[in-house]
Structure 1
Amino acid sequence: MRHSFVSIVISILTIIYISIFIIDQTERGIILRFGKVLRDHENKPIIYKPGIHFKIPFIEIVKILDARIQTLEIQADRYLTSENKDLMVDSYLKWRVTDFSRYYVATGGGKPYQAETLLKRKFSDRLRSEFGRLSVNDIITDSRGRLTVDVRDALNKGTSIDESTKETDTDIANAVARVEKEINIKLPVVNANSMTALGIRVVDVRIKKIELPNEIFDAIYARMRAEREAVARQHRSRGQEEATKIRAVADKTVTETLAEAERASLILMGEGNAIATKLFADTFRQDPEFYAFIRSLRAYEKSFKNGDDIFIISPNTDFLRFMKAPN
């Protein structure tokens, strides 16, 4: 008897344990009964908020969905402006689930990667369309803030039919059709190509970086390098021209200075020779014989520099008269 009572208590506690589920502050829950989202008498999905809740064991299954704002990084991609110029754009967006029932069915069981896949495609298509109507100057100036707001609003509210986003819009519309089939009622009027149709709201869109593709960078650098080299060549040619002018002026100054110095030296030499000649003349007039004697001695000094000098000359010549008769 006691053993049976313990078994019953344990069974009851087990049932109570598996009947209780707890929803965290950052989450929301929905219950699936026989694979269908549990709804109230007004056919609205029952969303379980943070706290302790109960379910029917073995019949109802709890699905926990993240209620926080999610960040979706968009890989840098190439976009074409209205001027047919390529830009590499690195961006991200923030989104959150607003309709958990719609989101669960549209994403095939609350799978975030499916929602992010559609969100990435829709965002890229919308951003490409916005870039296509703006110039580079518009994008990098005041229109950049307006651009992100327009993209966010287009994602939340949807857009008119656009051939460039037709494939993505079709996938979103198919997800909406699955939702309507699941609940078997007509949903409130929502643009079928908007994120709202998937139970998602885009909170914010941001562009982190806009830059030119690498090949355009290389072309710009090559052009800048060519321009700088042209300027350098121009400066070098001007420098060479100035150097030639300065060198010519210097050569002219040197030539003129040397010519002036030579002229002055010739004048001084002439004046010196004149003075010397005058001195010789005065000396000659005062004592011609002594002058002749001195001149002969100087001639001997210059002629007989060492003992090896040999002269073949007549002994009767007047040049040797002071050697033969010094007195």
Structure 2
Amino acid sequence: MSGRNMTFILAAVLLLFLASNSLFVIKETERAVMLKFGEVVNPNIQPGLHFKIPFVNNVRKFDGRVLTVDSQPERFFTQEKKALIVDSYAKFKVADTSKFYTATNGDESRAMGLLSQRINDGLRNQVAVRTIQEVVSGERDQLMEDIATQLNKVALTELGVEVVDVRVKQIDLPPDVSDSVYRRMNAEREKEAREHRSQGQELAEGIRAAADREVTVIEANAYRDAQQIRGEGDARATAIYASAFGQDPEFYSFTRSLKAYQDAFGDKGDILLLQPDSDFFRYLKGPDGGK
């Protein structure tokens, strides 16, 4: 191989090396800063293909997506000086690349550690001015909103990151007090249950007594009405019978005698001892009744 060809090859390799160290690509999901001997000269490199001076400029890339920092559970004291174990997390993203690099040297784990400390400080301050009821349920949403607002200002100023959201995953009582709190809550619930049960029994007795009284009144009224209707019916029937029999007393006497004969001679074993001229045999002597 000639010296000229060797020179050409060496030049091509040198150009390729320079090109590989001069060109770089920033993705849509990345943020980057350009350094010149360690000093930030371009704090916000846009996505795309860019050029740098080899051995002079250096490019540091960061994840531009929303990241999650999961803080360790911490013990905080409420307004009543009651201890709570609060487990929280936050969502953040790099907003100021220059400040982020200066504060964390571009280390995401360091940024998460610093942000986690500030989250715990914010939670400690917010929990300290609220009661347990307010922290757990009453003002929990307001608590998260206040922490996110305050933390975002501090994080943006000190770390160059924007806090998107802060959430509490779990709130527990410390193990040393959870048992006593559980026993107290259980006793309170049992007391409340007994009160409700006694009130229910009292109400049931009142309803049962009112129902029995109403049943007695209804039965008495029904019996009174039945007797009245029955008396009116008997009176009306008697009047009808009297009116009917009064039209022909002889026919009534005849039918009554036939009924008496039927009842008297219905059983062959019956024996009657009567005078022959007894009025019982009146209609046996003739259809006119022996007249």
Matched, 1:26 2:29: yes
User: SS of the counterpart of 1:17?
Assistant: helix
Match of 1:37 among 20, 34, 40: 40
The structural deviation recorded for 1:228 is: 9.8
Equivalent position of 2:172 in the other structure: 211
Which contiguous aligned blocks of 4+ residues in structure 1 show a shift greater than 6 angstroms?
A: 224-230
Distance in 1 separating the partners of 2:20 and 2:91: 37
Asked whether the 8 Å contact 1:119–1:195 carries over to 2, the reply is no
Q: Partner of 1:200 in structure 2?
A: 161
TM-score (normalised: structure 2): 0.60
Match of 2:116 among 103, 110, 120: 120
2:76 maps to 1:79: yes
Task: Provide the C-alpha distance between the structure 1 equivalents of 2:181 and 2:166, rounded to a whole number of angstroms.
Answer: 30
Shift of the alpha carbon at 1:125? 1.2
Distance of 2:22 and 2:182 partners within structure 1: 68
Q: Secondary structure at the match of 1:87?
A: strand
Other structure's SS at 1:4 match? helix
Structure 2 counterpart of 1:257:
none
For structure 2, the 5+ residue unaligned runs are 192-291
CA drift of 1:142 comes to: 3.8
CA distance in 1, matches of 2:174, 2:30: 41
Aligned-residue RMSD, C-alpha: 2.3
Percent identity of the aligned residues?
40
Going from structure 1 to structure 2, the CA distance change for 1:135 and 1:226 (only over 3 Å counts) comes to: closer
Q: Secondary structure at the match of 2:87?
A: strand
Contact 2:95 2:156 in 1 (8 A): no
Count of matched residue positions in the alignment of Structure 1 and Structure 2: 189
Q: Report the counterpart of residue 99 of structure 1 in structure 2.
A: 96
Alignment of 1:136 onto 2:132: yes
Distance 2:35 2:185 in 1: 65
Q: Compared with structure 1, are the counterparts of its residues 9 and 129 closer, same or farther at alpha carbon in structure 2 (3 Å cutoff)?
A: same
Q: In 2, are the aligned partners of 1:156 and 1:201 still within 8 Å (CA)? A: yes
- Give me the TM-score of the superposition, normalised by structure 1: 0.53
Q: 2:122 is matched by which residue type in structure 1?
A: R
**Unpaired stretches in structure 1, ≥5 consecutive residues:** 40-44, 159-193, 231-327
